Amino acid sequence: MPAILEARDLTKQFDLGATQVEALRGVSLEVQAGEFLALMGPSGSGKSTLLQLLAGLDRPTSGSVVFEGRDISRLSDDEATKLRRERTGFVFQAFNLIPLLSVIENIGLPFTIAGLDAGRGELRERIRDVISLVELTGKERHRPDQLSQGEQQRVAVARALVTKPSVLFADEPTGNLDYTTGGEILEALWLTAEASAQTIVLVTHDARAAAYADRVLVIGDGRITDEITLGRRQDHSAAPLIARLAQIGL
């Protein structure tokens, strides 16, 4: 089976006037359809940069990203926008929602942006489904500031899923949350991976979050330093992963 997402020798440099930061120094990886992949590593190792390149939010300095058989590393802004709207979903660490819009409006936003009527027919069904998936039924009319942070992140997950993206990208989606609330988000992500074979790329520095993934890539100083395959499991205890990480000295 061909990979749904593939990175080939990606590098990324940031110009800071006099100096340069090499955020990525040659990363290659493959993500299979239906796979739940976690990117782990210490702060500043280049996880977010890699995710942004994989999702077509930014262009690599060199190398390429192939998404569903198509090189997306040199897309025009309009093409990239279309890709984001139709093929990918995002969950960020915080501030995912438009404060002015209600839960249901925030979730329907990708459709509204595309000029579709999110209040009718199949789209309405889909919005209802994702709301029940993230267990927010009954809170459709609330505004973001009337929700807890965990609920807000669940709305963000629901919105990322509602377009049925090929790949869902999440950058530290639990970074701002406490232990249990973070667990709820991860459960929700895992559930979609399990139930609808959703491909997920998750960036985290938290082993407990990474333990939900099928496979973990460890990033260090702009390179992939290790790969840990966990496989699909019902049990998400972090102990095995922590043990493996300890083995490789993290």
Instruction: Produce one character per residue of 33-67: b if its CB has 16 or more CB atoms within 10 Å, e if not.
Output: ebbbbbbbbeeebbbbbbbbbbbbbeebeebebbb
The site that binds Mg ion (CB under 5 A) totals a number of residues, namely 1
How many CA within 13 A on the CB side of residue 63?
Answer: 23
Q: Minimum Å distance from CB 17 to another protein?
A: 16
When the beta carbons of 159 and 215 are compared against another protein, the nearer one is 159
Which of positions 25-54 make contact with another protein (CB under 8 A)?
A: 52
Stretch that binds Mg ion, among 43-51, 83-91, 119-127, 220-228 (CB under 5 A): 43-51
Q: Pairing relation of β-strands 5-16 and 19-31?
A: antiparallel
Closest separation in Å from C-beta 115 to another protein: 8
Contact 110, 88 (CB under 8 A): no
Closest among 33, 27, 78, 21 to 52, alpha carbons compared: 27
Side-chain-side CA neighbours of 217 within 13 Å: the count stands at: 21
Residues of the shown chain interacting with ligand ATP in the complex, contacts defined by CB under 6 A: 14, 16, 21, 23, 41, 43-49, 205
Choose, by CB under 8 A, the member of 94, 191, 238, 242 that binds another protein. Answer: 94
Binding flag, residue 57, another protein (CB under 8 A): yes
Q: Which residue, 3 or 57, is less far from another protein as judged by CB?
A: 57
Alpha-carbon distance 205 to 218, whole Å? 9
Burial (Cβ within 10 Å: 0-12, 13-18, ≥19) of residue 2: exposed
**114, 197, 246, 248: residue in contact with another protein (rule CB under 8 A):** 114
244: partner contacted, choices ligand ATP, another protein, Mg ion, none (Cβ within 5-8 A by kind): none
Residues in contact with another protein by CB under 8 A are 52, 57-58, 77-78, 81-82, 84-86, 89-90, 92, 94-101, 109-110, 112-114, 159-160, 171
